[in-house]
Amino acid sequence: MLHGKLRIHTCRVILLTSLVWFLVDVVILSFYSECIGGACKKSEDIKPGAEALADDLDNDYDQRQDERHDNKNIDSSKSELTKDIAGRVPATYKSTSLRRWRPAPSVLPVPGGAGEKGKAVHIPPEKEALMKEKFKLNQFNLLASDMISLNRSLTDVRLEGFFADIRYKLFGHCCRCKDKKYPKLLPTTSIVIVFHNEAWSTLLRTVWSVINRSPRPLLKEVILVDDASERGKKLENYVKTLPVPVFVLRTEKRSGLIRARLLGAKHVTGQVITFLDAHCECTEGWLEPLLARIVEDRRTVVCPIIDVISDETFEYITASDMTWGGFNWKLNFRWYRVPQREMDRRNGDRTAPLRTPTMAGGLFSIDKEYFYELGAYDEGMDIWGGENLEMSFRVWQCGGKLEIIPCSHVGHVFRDKSPYTFPGGVSKIVLHNAARVAEVWMDEWRDFYYAMNPGARNVPVGDISSRKALREKLKCKSFRWYLENVYPESQMPLDYYYLGDIRNVQTKNCLDTMGRKSGENLGMTYCHNLGGNQVFAYTKRQQIMSDDNCLDASSRTGPVKLVRCHGMGGNQAWVYDEVDKTIKHVNTGSCLTKPETTDVNLPLLKSCSYHEGQQWIMDSDFKWQANNHQDER
Ligand SMILES: [Mn+2]
């Protein structure tokens, strides 16, 4: 009897103790599950929001620990602003020009409607043939899009921390996007959407999502610019029925994204221009966080997180808030993982604005006057491509800021193939545009672009004098400044000894990436003197790199692989000796050696014997970099 009571008592004690510990855990977790308000110093390893997108992105990008730079130059920009303000757009608005606003009401789901709450639409098998036929028109599932309401509901995708609710109730911390308070007064914006042969349903769903989810007082108008579509003109009649002023402008002949956007911008009467793509869906609360950043400082250019609308099912998939924009030697825009450096700057707060080196370019907001002061777009660029990098470099180098605002989400239909035509050929246009970016903004780092795209040297770059004059007039900083302060993680090495091909003394053949990916073997073949796959940079940090891959060996006898550069030395450190002409692997002391006859395309790693097969020449048409460290502004 007594025994039984004792047992029950013990059980109670154990239960109570576990309960207490559980509660303590909850409290601790609610503080540390996500770092907020600077309450925690240690930022934890955070998983990206959507694994689906993460696979698409370059998540294996390794951050370069030793290239950390403090952001002194960026942080001091505020004090600089007040200095060079004369004659330029003031940093803030007059409060009388701003508007009071209230959040737009939520769009409620229609029960049973296709794709409601951002869900996937599946086409029944009997309609599959029709679906495939329609897919070709726009390179997305048009049949699915046509089934979905123009006003479809979406789930609220804004970041919610684990235990955010408890934390909010217990401590009143503002810890999630939904609880953030934005200024009561904000500027108005005009939405500019450029399209070419866009589908009716995607274009109008974009427009409706803007109308439905923007605070009405802040939405001045929507400007649709039709860049010479070859499809009807019923749009004018339709937009007259909309509850917000919507205008349709048409270019007479195909003028390309850049010139069409300039045409749209010319008609903007709002204070801020918001550019959107024609197959987007804005989510709840998308606009306020963007305008709130601009109202603080008009020289901030802001982008939402670009979520994924599946081109197959039109499912709305949240993208990672842990990626930012970068670029490679070819000047392709790429997504990379946000480095720890930027997480630390934000005190681990994933809802805080993220400084991004570049933007994707389709979706962003910019103060209208600042847009023009900064030189709008380069009118010498054609159709599409490169304009996003051009604007990104210009913003940073000329005293602005470029940010991704994690509390603003807009979905975008990503396609595998572009459905557009490029008069004169895609590569020619893209190379022409990129060359203009390189020539005007990248200083000596333009050599990387030309080395990687040998065809670019033959594409006329056109007259760039007015863009160079703009750079002068705005007193823009150098590309070195940009690499040092904004994008130290870039694959453009800050300092390098050599850029060009690397040939073997005995075989006269050249190292060649063969276009292979990270993790694959380095190759070798006859020297073609065309750059591209035979271009390597030998950097001050002892890397031999080709775009974002570095020569890498993990044992004394190789193999020598191409591995994504990590910037930490180790297996990727090599020393070129100008006298004995060896390329020595620092970790193992072995030498890069010509291939054996068994595989003439496979360079090897062997112990050094200093014979001709281990001698390499780094001198081609490319120059050794003059290591001029001018003092930067
Ligand atoms: Mn698009």
Cβ atoms of residues 157 and 283 within 8 Å:
yes
| CA–centroid distance, residue 309 to ligand 1 (Å) | 11
> How far apart (Å, rounded) are the C-alpha atoms in residues 624 and 564?
24
> How far apart (Å, rounded) are the C-alpha atoms in residues 572 and 586?
8
| CA–centroid distance, residue 410 to ligand 1 (Å) | 12
| CA–centroid distance, residue 413 to ligand 1 (Å) | 6
| CA–centroid distance, residue 384 to ligand 1 (Å) | 11
| pLDDT grade for 458, boundaries at 50, 70 and 90 | confident
| CA–centroid distance, residue 367 to ligand 1 (Å) | 22
pLDDT of residue 145: 97
| CA–centroid distance, residue 608 to ligand 1 (Å) | 53
pLDDT of residue 620: 61
| CA–centroid distance, residue 278 to ligand 1 (Å) | 7
pLDDT of residue 38: 37
pLDDT of residue 490: 93
pLDDT of residue 171: 55
Closest-CA residue to 462 (of 379, 372, 373)? 379
| CA–centroid distance, residue 20 to ligand 1 (Å) | 53
| CA–centroid distance, residue 298 to ligand 1 (Å) | 26
E strand or H helix at 394: helix 387-397
Is residue 163's pLDDT more than 70?
A: no
| pLDDT grade for 28, boundaries at 50, 70 and 90 | low
Average pLDDT of the segment spanning 91-120: 95
- Tell me what percent of the residues of the chain surpass a pLDDT of 70: 83
| CA–centroid distance, residue 279 to ligand 1 (Å) | 6
pLDDT of residue 56: 34
| pLDDT grade for 178, boundaries at 50, 70 and 90 | confident
pLDDT of residue 250: 94
pLDDT of residue 71: 36
Average pLDDT of the segment spanning 580-595: 96
State the pTM of this model. 0.82
Peptide bond into 125 cis (omega under 30): no
Domains of the chain: residue spans and CATH = 33-50+125-489 (3.90.550.10), 496-617 (2.80.10.50)
pLDDT of residue 4: 64
| CA–centroid distance, residue 276 to ligand 1 (Å) | 9
Question: Where would I find the beta strands (DSSP E) of 74-207?
Answer: 99-100, 185-186, 189-195
Name the packing angle between helices 426-441 and 387-397 (round to 10°).
10
| pLDDT grade for 27, boundaries at 50, 70 and 90 | low
Name the packing angle between helices 426-441 and 465-473 (round to 10°).
40
| CA–centroid distance, residue 415 to ligand 1 (Å) | 7
Average pLDDT of the segment spanning 520-527: 96
Most trustworthy range by pLDDT among 10-19, 156-165, 379-388, 437-446? 437-446
| CA–centroid distance, residue 412 to ligand 1 (Å) | 7
> How far apart (Å, rounded) are the C-alpha atoms in residues 293 and 362?
19
| CA–centroid distance, residue 333 to ligand 1 (Å) | 14
Closest-CA residue to 550 (of 565, 538, 570, 569)? 565
| CA–centroid distance, residue 362 to ligand 1 (Å) | 7
| CA–centroid distance, residue 277 to ligand 1 (Å) | 5
Is residue 602's pLDDT more than 70?
A: yes
Q: 1-5, 97-101, 506-510: which range is least confident on average? A: 1-5
pLDDT of residue 633: 32
| CA–centroid distance, residue 280 to ligand 1 (Å) | 8
| CA–centroid distance, residue 46 to ligand 1 (Å) | 28
Beta bridge partners of 365: 274, 302
| pLDDT grade for 82, boundaries at 50, 70 and 90 | very low
Most trustworthy range by pLDDT among 7-16, 170-179, 391-400? 391-400
| Sign of torsion over alpha carbons 342, 347, 352, 353 | negative
| CA–centroid distance, residue 274 to ligand 1 (Å) | 15
Average pLDDT of the segment spanning 536-545: 95
Angle at 630 between CA 627 and CA 633, to 5 degrees: 150
pLDDT of residue 614: 97
Is residue 371's pLDDT more than 70?
A: yes
| CA–centroid distance, residue 275 to ligand 1 (Å) | 12
pLDDT of residue 522: 97
| CA–centroid distance, residue 313 to ligand 1 (Å) | 16
Residue 468 three-state SS: helix
pLDDT of residue 596: 94
Structure tokens at 490: 């870039």
Is residue 133's pLDDT more than 90?
A: yes
| CA–centroid distance, residue 114 to ligand 1 (Å) | 23
